[in-house]
Amino acid sequence: MTLRKKMIEPFNAQIKSEFTASAQYIAIAAYFDDASLKELANFFYRQADEEHMHAMKFVHFMLETGAKPTIPDTSKLRNEFSSPADAVQFALDQENAVTDQINNLVDLSIAESDHAANNFLQWFVTEQVEEVDTMTTLLQTIKLAGDNLLLVEDYVRRNPPHAAAQPVE
């Protein structure tokens, strides 16, 4: 089984996106941690771990299918945010962008008749639905809470993001 040649660069680009997302979530977690919003901070530290796991799934899949991945620099990261809503909106925008990238990879796998890659990518299709939903709900909760961010802390404490259930393959 060999990863189709045309998929190698897009897969490398996805590794970059996933590592960028991981580092970006640490930056967002640090923003909340610095503001003593520990539950929000922990939420984003966990999200960072998940994104790292996503990147590693691509790394391992490429190697399993005979393609050597190129480990990239991350894209430029943002460390300053004007408000909690600004930080979470940025996270949601990032998730929507990743969803578009995953959909494009699925389209490419179909065009290339790369069924193994298509099967691998389906996990990410499902994952992105959940991540966009989680981030959308968090943003709405922050907007509803207004100035009382302790309500958001309570919400996050009661609704932790799903555990990174699947081990890295």
* Binding site residues, ligand FEO, CB under 6 A: 18, 21, 51, 54, 95, 98, 131
Complex with ligand FEO: residue 143 or 162, whichever CB lies closer: 162
Task: Say which amino acid occupies 30.
Answer: A
The DSSP letter of residue 77 is: -
Q: State in angstroms the smallest separation of the CB of 21 from ligand FEO.
A: 5
Give me the least distance between CB of 55 and ligand FEO, in Å please: 8
Q: Which is nearer to ligand FEO, 55 or 149 (CB)?
A: 55
Residue nearest to ligand FEO (CB): 54
Q: Which is nearer to ligand FEO, 61 or 149 (CB)?
A: 61
CA distance 52 to 122: 18
- For the bound state, the minimum distance from the C-beta of residue 91 to ligand FEO, rounded and expressed in Å, comes to 9
Question: Around Cβ 164, how many Cβ atoms within 10 Å?
Answer: 15
- Please enumerate in sequence order all residues whose Cβ is within 8 A of that of 11, keeping only pairs 6 or more positions apart, or say none: 3, 58, 61, 62, 67, 69, 105
CB of 148 to ligand FEO, least distance (A): 28
How far CA 63 is from CA of 6, 9, 16, 34, 57, in Å, comes to 15, 14, 16, 39, 10
Residue 19: CB minimum distance to ligand FEO, A: 10
| Ramachandran sector of residue 74 (left: φ over 0; alpha: ψ -120 to 50; beta: rest) | beta
